[in-house]
Structure 1
Amino acid sequence: MKTEKIEIMIREAIPSDAKEILAFSRQTGAETDFLTYGEEGLELSEAFEEMYLEGLMDKQNAILLVAIINNEEIIGMASVGADDKPKTQHVGEVGITVSKEFWGFGLGTALMEEIEIWAKESGVIRRLELTVHSENERAIVLYEKMGYHREGLLSRIMCINGTFVDGVMMSLLID
């Protein structure tokens, strides 16, 4: 039996990743109903995404990580977004997306671990939170494994093909 060796690198996104990030969002949006967008992806221009990524580099309480396979293709992303307002700048909203082809290989765990390490080292983020599609059992298991706790159910958070879906609000306190 021949095994194939692949190399996956997780790093902070840079402005030159903009085009591939937008393509990745269209691909993953078409693969699952668990995301807040569909096959239209993030619907941003490449120039806007470049500016957004440039701005992220100056923020202490926000980040976008990309997982890249064999130094060429994005196969996963994880982000933390936060306000600049003094009263809420410590709260980071987590988003994570993994290409369906790589589900079940531990990439989601690796991305979540990197987000948590970054949050602890940020010196700003003290709460990570997310909302997950209530039927996304694989993600809920991952988040619980990472120490996230369920805080509530958000009714009708999404409408997919005319059917309302609830969301599960989860959080992880840092420190």
Structure 2
Amino acid sequence: MIREDVVIRQAKIEDASGILHIQEEVVLEGKFLTTVSEEFNKTVEQQRDWVEKVLKNDKETMLVAVYQGTILGWIVFFSSNRVRLSHTGSIGMMVKKDFRSMGVGKLLIKHLLDWAEQHQSIEKVSLGVFLTNQKAIALYKDMGFIEEGRKVKEFKLNEDEYVDDILMCKFV
């Protein structure tokens, strides 16, 4: 396990290409994302703009897991600009396939939750996950997230196959 040597830090604009590379890999896997490979056409410039936008918002953050100079994964926290939703936000996370089940995702979530706890206005961290992504669901539960609902047959994978979207949250 490489966990002790992994550094979790705030993303930088220069990390955009590494973050994009992970997104491209995960999208190509085609298992657990709403986006299919034919739809994914983000450029490095668009990725830089996205990272910069997140980093400029003091109610949002993006963290990266780095091992020997390589980005292994990332997590992002989005918030709403709506007053009635200002106490909550959603996370998205991706880890390179070869580094899953090694504690990288757990480290990213831990650091994100630590960050959220330091922001008094943030009370709730939410996420959505495919029902078929049982490893991710187990990780989220291990980190204290609870299932608060589900959207039945939210994702249509093909003509006869659907997947529920499991809605989870943790109060911080």
TM over 0.5, shorter chain: yes
Q: Please report how far the alpha carbon of residue 58 of structure 1 lies from its aligned counterpart in structure 2 after TM superposition.
A: 2.3
1:23 equivalent to 2:15? Answer no
Trace 1:1-175 onto structure 2 (pairs within 5 A).
Answer: 7-39=5-37, 43-71=41-69, 73-162=70-159, 163-174=161-172
CA distance in 2, matches of 1:99, 1:4: 14
Instruction: Report if the CA contact (8 A) 2:2-2:102 is conserved.
Output: no
Runs (5+) with no aligned partner, structure 1: none
CA distance in 2, matches of 1:19, 1:84: 27
Instruction: Report if the CA contact (8 A) 2:66-2:72 is conserved.
Output: yes
Match for 1:65: what amino acid? L
Q: Please report how far the alpha carbon of residue 41 of structure 1 lies from its aligned counterpart in structure 2 after TM superposition.
A: 7.8
Query: What secondary structure does 2:92 align onto?
Result: strand
Q: Please report how far the alpha carbon of residue 13 of structure 1 lies from its aligned counterpart in structure 2 after TM superposition.
A: 1.3
1:30–1:86 Cα change, 3 Å: same
CA distance in 1, matches of 2:63, 2:79: 15
Identity of aligned residues (%): 26
Query: How many residue pairs end up in the alignment?
Result: 171
1:5–1:113 Cα change, 3 Å: closer
1:31–1:80 Cα change, 3 Å: same
Q: Please report how far the alpha carbon of residue 104 of structure 1 lies from its aligned counterpart in structure 2 after TM superposition.
A: 1.1
Q: What does the per-residue CA deviation read over 1:11-51, in whole Å, with 9 as the maximum and x for residues that have no partner?
A: 11111111221121111222351122244585322222212
Match for 1:91: what amino acid? T
Query: What secondary structure does 1:135 align onto?
Result: coil
Runs (5+) with no aligned partner, structure 2: none
Q: Please report how far the alpha carbon of residue 100 of structure 1 lies from its aligned counterpart in structure 2 after TM superposition.
A: 1.3
Q: What does the per-residue CA deviation read over 1:40-74, in whole Å, with 9 as the maximum and x for residues that have no partner?
A: 58532222221222222221221111112201x22
Match for 2:76: what amino acid? S
Q: Please report how far the alpha carbon of residue 156 of structure 1 lies from its aligned counterpart in structure 2 after TM superposition.
A: 1.9
User: Structure 1 or 2: larger helix share?
Assistant: 2
CA distance in 2, matches of 1:10, 1:157: 33
CA distance in 2, matches of 1:4, 1:128: 27
1:41–1:14 Cα change, 3 Å: farther
CA distance in 2, matches of 1:34, 1:136: 7
Match for 1:92: what amino acid? G
Q: TM-score, normalised by structure 1?
A: 0.88
